[in-house]
Structure 1
Amino acid sequence: MTNALLVIDMQNAFLHPDGENYYPAAAEVIAPAQALIAAAQQSETIIVHVADTHRAGFKDYEQVRLPEHGIAGSFNAEFFDGFGPQGGREIEIIKRRYSAFFGTDLALFLREQGVDGVVICGVKTNVCVRATAQDAFANGFKVQVVREAVNTNREHLGAAALEDIERYLGRVISQSDALEVLG
């Protein structure tokens, strides 16, 4: 199986204390996600850095449920220090919905590269991580979510999302198993 690493929303909005969607537990995924990225870089695995980014001054359907956020060019939309494409086999996908697949060319890109499985890390487990896992499954990719490299500010919803992912969409794997998969 050929995997790609999907790094979801590791942006200032969630990870920086001044971020508009910051929650303290988000910091717990920084080191595990960086370790996954390092392993993927070493093995030349494709890394997709996903950014939740929206256009200033335009309505966006997410605003039905959420306030305006992640405006392109803003501090909040920027990748947090140590994240974002570093060259090589790394790309950025901008998304305007919870899923990295919805309305983007991510599935097409991965298929063109011969990828048939995804390893997912990032924030937030019950929203963007779960939506991405569900759409990865719907697009025919084998899904693996790294338990230590995802979290949310709604712990009970995060646990429920991981249970759903394990039961219906793919596997929830440990950090050590993920490092082996990417190595």
Structure 2
Amino acid sequence: MTGSEPATALVLVDVTNSFFLEGMPNFYPAAAETLGPLRALLAKARAAGRIVVHAVEQHYPGFDDYEWRKLPRHHVIGDRDADFFAGFEPRGEVEIICRKRRFSAFFATDLALFLHEQAIERVIVAGVKTNVCIRATAQDAFANGFDVVVPREATNSNRPHLAAASLEDIDRYIGRVVPIERALEMLT
């Protein structure tokens, strides 16, 4: 990293069984298209010793959750759908888990505080789904004073038109949408 490059962290959003294993509550076939780019980002971040945030939606077992007024029950702590997708389990000293109960990794969590304490200036946000958790996380990252980067190939949705609109909004108002190659360079 050159002196002019901002300190960067990788935020992986909801890389869990729920979206990537057939039969799980939020599975959609196109999610698999993001796995190669997500693996490349994770490998590059690990090789460079970058902070990796594994932001995962998890809900308390046995309790009601406001989110279920719009969505079916999902991601209950201890359930298989809430587990990390194989190969994306946190490891090492610079990887943390950010448990979230809403779409954004920054809402009602200490993620902004943690990243500011580590002098992080830029976050690369990748995972699923573009029009829901990625957009919400990107918007809240911006609101918390971080430069936001979303690698185009490392996110998608089962609603392609909404994913396209979300990426357009992110690039226009919130941060930058870049090719995967550029995001990988930012992690070097």
Query: TM-score, normalised to structure 2's length?
Result: 0.96
| Cα distance between partner residues in 2 of 1:70 and 1:106 | 20
Question: What is the identity, as a one-letter code, of the residue corresponding to 2:98?
Answer: I
Say what the alpha-carbon RMSD is for the aligned residues.
Answer: 0.7
Cα deviation digits, residues 35-92 of structure 1 (max 9, x gap): 0000001111100011111012211111121111101001000000011211231111
Alignment correspondent of 1:153 = 158
In the TM superposition, what whole-angstrom CA distance separates every residue of 1:119-154 from its partner, at most 9, and x where no partner exists? 011000000000000000000000000100000000
The size of the alignment, in residue pairs, is: 183
Instruction: Indicate whether 1:78 and 2:102 are aligned.
Output: no
Aligned to 1:105: 110
5+ residue gaps, structure 1, are none
Q: What is the letter of the counterpart of residue 116 of structure 1?
A: E
Shift in Å, 1:18 = 2.6
- Asked whether the equivalents of residues 84 and 92 of structure 1 are also in contact (C-alpha less than 8 Å), the reply is no
**For 1:6, what is the secondary structure of its paired residue?**
strand
Once the two structures are superposed, the pairs formed by residues 48-67 of structure 1 within 5 Å of their partners are 48-67=53-72
Q: Within the alignment, does 1:142 sit opposite 2:167 as a pair? A: no
The one-letter amino acid of 2:67's match is E
Match of 1:177 among 169, 182, 187: 182
Please name the residue that 1:45 is paired with.
Answer: 50
User: Is 1:88 aligned to 2:96, yes or no?
Assistant: no
| CA distance, structure 2, for counterparts of residue 111 and residue 19 of structure 1 | 35
- Runs of 4 or more, structure 1, over 3 Å off, are none
Residue 32 (structure 2) aligned to one of 7, 11, 27: 27
TM-score by length of 1: 0.98
